[in-house]
Amino acid sequence: MPTSSKTDYFTEQQEQTARFAKALGHPVRIAILELLNSQACCYHGDMAEELPIAKSTLSQHLKELKDVGLIKGDITPPSTKYCIDRENWKKAKELLNNVLS
């Protein structure tokens, strides 16, 4: 008799929604996304000057957002470029709207 794990119960859509929600679960990440979403194009510069956190902490938050696919770009100093991944941004909005509606 095959055993199934609890994760077998959840759909890929539910799993992806949870990944996006987890990435959004910190106020610094929300601030980063708001800053990036307000830009007409990619953000160039030192985001640590915009947000009141240490560069190492900022890097960890940027990595989380990049890993889940909400941002993209070159996030390796000294040349830094941060962009909203518009395709995944749209997908996250749709998935979260489905849960919250």
Residue 37 lies in a domain: yes
Contacts 24+ apart (CB under 8 A), 45-49: 45/80, 46/80, 47/80, 47/82
pLDDT tens sequence for the chain (101 residues): 555 566 678 999 999 999 999 999 999 999 999 999 888 777 777 788 888 888 889 889 999 999 999 998 876 666 678 899 999 999 999 999 999 98
User: What is the DSSP-derived secondary structure letter of residue 74?
Assistant: -
Examine residue 78 and say whether the peptide bond preceding it is cis (omega within 30 degrees of 0): yes
CATH number at residue 35: 1.10.10.10
Residue 13 lies in a domain: no
How many Cβ atoms sit within 10 Å of the Cβ of residue 94?
11
CA distances from 13 to 19, 53, 54, 98 (A): 10, 33, 34, 10
Residue 12 lies in a domain: no
